[in-house]
């Protein structure tokens, strides 16, 4: 039973380029969360998605960042026109069931480490 998969594991981009980060949840999980981790800090929530729906994007910057979780295929976190401050580790987590009103265990992938030159 494969865990949460993320690719690429490492991504280098120059300022102004686009970064696309992919996340495949665990089998049977239909809820995906994206988090960002700066060096020496905890994880900060960005966005929560179900298949074809964004449930909560309160932690995601309004500009340059977008996320999707299509009916088929992985969830994608897209960062347009990257800047040096976007350099961080980006983790996704998946959960088997809805979060609101229930307890939900979240299982994390290995992360994508984005470096912006």
Partner 1 sequence: GENVEQHPSTLSVQEGDSAVIKCTYSDSASNYFPWYKQELGKGPQLIIDIRSNVGEKKDQRIAVTLNKTAKHFSLHITETQPEDSAVYFCAVRGSQGNLIFGKGTKLSVKP
Q: Which stretch binds partner 1 (CB under 8 A): 13-21, 56-64, 66-74, 76-84?
A: 56-64
Under the binding rule (CB under 8 A), the answer on residue 103 touching partner 1 is yes
Cα distance between residue 114 and residue 93, in whole Å? 17
Which residue in 30, 87, 106, 115 binds partner 1 (CB under 8 A)?
A: 106
- Residue 28 Cβ, how far from partner 1 at the closest point, in Å? 17
Angle at 49 between CA 64 and CA 60, to 5 degrees: 30
Nearest to 69 by CA among 89, 55, 88, 90: 55
> Omega before 8 cis (within 30°)?
yes
Residues in contact with partner 1 by the rule CB under 8 A: 4, 6, 31, 33, 35, 41-45, 48, 55-56, 58-59, 91, 93, 95, 98-100, 103-111
């Amino acid at each position: 039973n494969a865990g949460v998969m993320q690719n690429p594991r490492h991504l280098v981009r120059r300022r102004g380029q686009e970064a696309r980060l992919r996340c495949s949840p665990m089998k049977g999980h239909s809820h995906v969360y994206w988090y960002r981790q700066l060096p020496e800090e905890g994880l900060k929530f960005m966005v929560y998605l179900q298949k074809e729906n964004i449930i909560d994007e309160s932690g995601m910057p309004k500009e340059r960042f977008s996320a999707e979780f299509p009916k088929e295929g992985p969830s994608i976190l897209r960062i347009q026109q990257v800047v040096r401050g976007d350099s961080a580790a980006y983790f996704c987590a998946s959960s088997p069931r809805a979060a609101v009103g229930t307890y939900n265990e979240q299982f994390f992938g290995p992360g994508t480490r984005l470096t912006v030159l």
